[in-house]
Amino acid sequence: MVAIVNYGLGNLTSILNMHKRLGLQAIITSEPDEIRKADRLIIPGVGHFKKGMDNLHESGLKQLLDQLVLEERKPVLGICLGAQLLTKHSEEGNVDGLGWVDAVTVRFDQSRLHGLKVPHMGWSDIKLADESPLWINLPVEPRFYHVHTFHFLFEQLGEISATAMYGYEFVCAFRKNNIYGTQFHPEKSHKFGMAVLKNFSKITV
């Protein structure tokens, strides 16, 4: 069972529908008992970093997620803003994140975009950087759907799972032990995203 954590931000239904299409068990929930019982967690997100962190603190979910992910090592997948929240800090709102990975979240550097506009919106090829379990049997020439103005900046290069290009190369996926994150939206990325979510459903503690 996958618990899609509802903290007030995110395209929850799209993620749930993709799991149903794949025949995978998933629920949308903010209930602590249901989150504890789940085998894996997905932290989605669309919106503002500060609002996301405020919601996690005010709901009490931050403490619960810290326990389940950092102490009990439950597999977790952050998607888009949900993945950015796993970093140490964001320029969006100038606020600290959960700090689960050695990275910060920064705005696209307009001076390096060669006239490209932000947000980065649309399909982009990705370049795999590790042998993450998320990439098993991934279709050839993987490409994923992105919608974002901010991206990850990693201190530990060994945590980088994939990169993409938008004016310059940026990190679009990461992995640290039981913690996974994608800047792109697997739930909107057809066969490529289906492979990623199916692979995540098989990851165990």
**Is position 172 annotated as part of the catalytic site?**
no
Catalytic residue among 114, 120, 185, 190, which?
185
Cβ atoms within 10 Å, residue 33: 7
Q: Name the DSSP class of 185.
A: B
| Residue 127 DSSP label | E
Choosing from 48, 159, 187, 190, the catalytic residue is 187
Which of 44, 99, 31, 108 has the alpha carbon at shortest distance from 76? Answer: 44
- Tell me if residue 174 falls in helix, strand or coil: strand
User: Could you give the CA distance from residue 116 to residue 108 in angstroms, rounded to a whole number?
Assistant: 10
- Which one of the listed residues 19, 80, 92, 151 is annotated catalytic? 80
Q: Is 187 assigned a catalytic role? A: yes
Active site amino acids: 80, 185, 187
